[in-house]
């Protein structure tokens, strides 16, 4: 299949394109090994040089980062801690952006073998798998049922967004949702018919032996730009208390040490502090690191509200131990790749 394409279709923030890239790379490696032909991996370039640097950090190589696709997606990217605006804009723009994107993909990348959808608001219309800590339609359903959240957002828009995402999700052959996920606090939740429980959706963590001070705290800035001021304020306070603060290399600050996130597994990292995003949570799970989540702030993505609740009611490290008992390996990327290969007969 010399011209086949794996299309990574990410939502907002850093983790969707990291996760999608890792899964696509694993599937492409298998196809190349078995057929001698390597599919092309295509994804939109949403965050410029930062996206390129982070993909390199995670070992994702040979991806065609399409700036035109990135431009098409721009209106659908959540930013500035304003979910109401994201909701309204998405409902207005989603149908036309999805149509334009599909036409572009058909014209430029006609042989899409697989779409790897990581919480995107649109679908390519091709056969797809989904991986994320929750389906977006379920997130909207839960938001409508949560009085604290429902009061913040327009109910009619939430209902419309729920229906929109149901349509997007009809193309998902498999939905990979970790066993520890956004709604783990809800013991009565029922899995979806196409849902596959997984380990944390990160590769296994390798020990880091960088010579760090014993009192190091990694402050993880969000890829969406949310809670930047709050995290910076807390980092400054921790620094004043004598802690060594580390942030990502791309963080827009000169006050702190900058290192790749791989140092989270260092024995001298006493905790990780950040917004309750699953990229950070999964990395802490794999590293065995303590994670302190920022509280949910009014106006933010409702997912953060439920993530914070799960972290409070189902402690992360205890849940991680249960996952270790449930799965023979905690490598979530390998787990997903192997299941895709088995189910979709690559």
Cα(109)–Cα(321) distance, integer angstroms: 42
pLDDT digits (tens, 9 = 90+) for 300-343: 999 999 999 999 999 999 999 999 999 999 999 999 999 999 99
Where do the domains of the chain lie?
5-202+328-344, 216-326
Residue 2, pLDDT > 50, answer no
C-beta separation of 131 from 116 below 8 A? yes
CA dist list (Å): 179 to 193, 275, 322:
15, 20, 9
Confidence grade of residue 52 (pLDDT, cut at 50, 70, 90) = very high
Angle between helices 302-313 and 278-287 (to 10 degrees): 30
User: Listing from the earlier edge strand, what are the strands of the sheet with 63-66?
Assistant: 63-66, 40-44, 5-10, 112-118, 128-131, 172-178, 195-198
Mean pLDDT of 246-273: 97
Cα(86)–Cα(316) distance, integer angstroms: 29
Fold of 5-202+328-344: Rossmann fold (3.40.50)
The CATH classification number of 216-326 equals 3.40.50.2000
- Domain pair 5-202+328-344 / 216-326, same fold: yes
């Amino acid at each position: 299949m010399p011209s086949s394409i794996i299309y990574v279709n990410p939502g907002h923030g850093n983790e969707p394109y990291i996760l999608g890239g890792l899964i696509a790379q694993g599937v492409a490696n298998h196809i190349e090994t078995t057929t001698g032909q390597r599919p092309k991996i295509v994804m939109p370039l949403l965050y410029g040089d930062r996206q390129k640097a982070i993909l390199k950090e995670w070992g994702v190589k040979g991806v065609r980062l399409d700036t035109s696709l990135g431009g098409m997606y721009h209106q659908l990217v959540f930013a500035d801690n304003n979910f109401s605006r994201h909701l309204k804009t998405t409902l207005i723009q989603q149908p036309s952006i999805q149509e334009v994107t599909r036409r572009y993909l058909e014209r430029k990348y006609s042989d899409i073998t697989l779409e790897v959808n990581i919480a995107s608001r649109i679908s390519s219309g091709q056969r797809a798998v989904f991986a994320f800590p929750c389906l977006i339609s379920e997130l909207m359903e839960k938001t409508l049922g949560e009085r604290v959240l429902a009061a913040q957002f327009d109910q009619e828009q939430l209902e419309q967004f729920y229906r929109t995402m149901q349509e997007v999700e009809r193309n998902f052959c498999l939905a990979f949702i970790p066993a520890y996920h956004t709604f783990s606090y809800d013991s009565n939740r029922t899995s979806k018919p196409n849902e596959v429980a997984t380990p944390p959706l990160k590769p296994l963590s390798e020990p880091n032996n960088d010579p760090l001070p014993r009192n190091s705290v990694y402050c993880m800035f969000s890829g969406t730009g949310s809670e930047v001021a709050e995290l910076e304020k807390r980092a400054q306070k921790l620094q004043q208390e004598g802690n060594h603060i580390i942030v990502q290399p791309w963080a827009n600050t000169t006050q702190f040490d900058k290192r790749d996130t791989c140092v989270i597994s260092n024995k001298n990292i006493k905790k990780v502090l950040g917004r309750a995003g699953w990229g950070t949570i999964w990395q802490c799970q794999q590293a065995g690191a303590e994670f302190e989540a920022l509280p949910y702030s009014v106006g933010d993505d409702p997912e953060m509200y439920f993530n914070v609740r799960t972290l409070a009611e189902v402690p992360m490290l205890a849940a991680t131990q249960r996952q270790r008992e449930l799965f023979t390996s905690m490598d979530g990327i390998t787990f997903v790749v192997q299941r895709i290969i088995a189910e979709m007969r690559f």
